[in-house]
Copies of this chain bind each other. A is one copy, B any other.
Amino acid sequence: MTTCHNERVATWFAQLRDRLCGAFETIEAEAAGDAPPARFERQGWERSGGGGGEMALMRGRVFEKVGVNVSVVHGEFAPELRALVPGADRDPRFWAAGISTVAHMRSPMVPASHMNTRRIVTTRGWFGGGADLTPCFPFDEDTRDFHAALGAACDAHGRDHKALSEWCDRYFHLPHRGESRGVGGIFFDDLDSGDFEADFAFTRAVGEAFLTIFPALVRRRMGLPWTDEQRRALLVKRGRYVEFNLLHDRGTLFGLKTGGNIEAILMSLPPEAAWP
């Protein structure tokens, strides 16, 4: 039963990866003009403790650097982690699968964005994930539509959008700067309502919402002109993104500590950044 659950979850993540890559490649093709459009390149990796993943990376005209990673790993948590992971104190074995995408855009007018969802199974099993938007020059309309798309996913599955949005704001916060990373989104973890089908359906809905709204926002802004000064502001904004991911992001730090694939973990870092 659990194995069947795991297979369905892993299959969903792989399918969502294919659809995200397809959506982003379509945008690149629209923007390419006469030049051959950028395409994703995929690279697999294996985890020494069990399982592995696949990175997909594209460098294009619109998407300066966009990665979509999937992984399915299993093994045993190291002793120092067993007390920290729910259900791992009774049995250190785990299974985990996830999808993560981070898009850094060439234009300062197009927002960067991130989405990830994951399922972790120990003696317990739960979903987690989220999506957030990081514009350099926020448009209220984009912020509103991004929140509305995620809010609709929450509403359709009986989740408290306000609570998950506030969780996102707390999480994507740079305390040393007193700044938010972006304009928010949703964040959830330890999602185990007791109804696997309901939790899995909500997790899929978050992916579907992102797949719909983010490409729409990219198309809305990708034609806008920008200045060198605005591009410079984008590089500085990305410096904050680097600070958050390396100083505060639990996923990044957990991955580095548990010997995850370095290139996959740090794929979230921007292609270029600046500190004034």
- Write the residues of chain A forming the contact surface with B, with a CB cutoff of 8 angstroms: 65, 176-177, 235, 239, 242-243, 246-247, 253, 256, 262, 266, 269-276
Chain B minimum-CB-distance residue to A255: B176
Q: Complex Cα distance A274/B65, Å? A: 11
21 CB-based A-B contacts, threshold 8 Å? A65-B275, A176-B256, A176-B262, A235-B272, A239-B269, A242-B242, A242-B273, A243-B246, A246-B246, A246-B247, A247-B247, A247-B253, A269-B275, A270-B275, A271-B274, A271-B275, A272-B272, A272-B273, A272-B274, A273-B273, A273-B274
Q: Which residue of B lies closest to A257 (CB)?
A: B176
A246–chain B nearest beta-carbon distance, Å: 4
Known: A247-B247, A270-B275, A273-B274. 18 other contacts (CB 8 A): A176-B256, A239-B269, A242-B242, A242-B246, A243-B246, A243-B266, A246-B246, A246-B247, A247-B253, A247-B256, A266-B275, A269-B275, A271-B275, A271-B276, A272-B272, A272-B273, A272-B274, A273-B273
**What residues of B have a CB within 8 angstroms of the CB of A269 in the complex?**
239, 275
Specify which chain B residues have a CB less than 8 angstroms from the CB of A253 in the assembled complex: 247
Note all chain B residues with C-beta closer than 8 A to A275.
Answer: 65, 266, 269-271
The complex is assembled from copies of this chain, and their number is 2
Output the least CB separation between A75 and chain B (Å): 19
Residues of B near A242 (CB, < 8 A) are 242, 246, 273
In whole Å, how far is A209's beta carbon from the nearest beta carbon of chain B? 28
Considering the complex, give the chain B residue whose CB is closest to the CB of A267. B275
Specify the chain B residue showing the minimal Cβ separation from A268. Answer: B275
Q: Taking each of A176, A239, A247, A253, which has the highest tally of chain B beta carbons within 10 Å of its own beta carbon? A: A176
Which residues of B are found within 8 Å of A65, using beta-carbon distances? 275
Chain B residues, Cβ within 8 Å of A246: 242-243, 246-247
Shortest CB distance A60–B (Å): 15
Roughly how many angstroms separate A85 CA and B42 CA in the complex, as a whole number?
48
- Report the Cα distance A246→B252, complex, angstroms: 12
A242 → chain B closest CB, angstroms: 6
Who on chain B is nearest to A104 by CB? B275
Q: How far is the CA of A273 from the CA of B272 in the complex (A)?
A: 6
Give the chain B neighbours of A243 by CB distance below 8 A.
246, 266
Q: Which residues of B contact A176 (CB under 8 A)?
A: 256, 262
* Distance of A266 Cα from B242 Cα, bound (Å): 12
A269 to B176 CA separation, bound complex (whole angstroms): 15
A254 to chain B, nearest CB (A): 12
Query: A65, A235, A272 — which one has the most chain B CB atoms within 10 A of its CB?
Result: A272
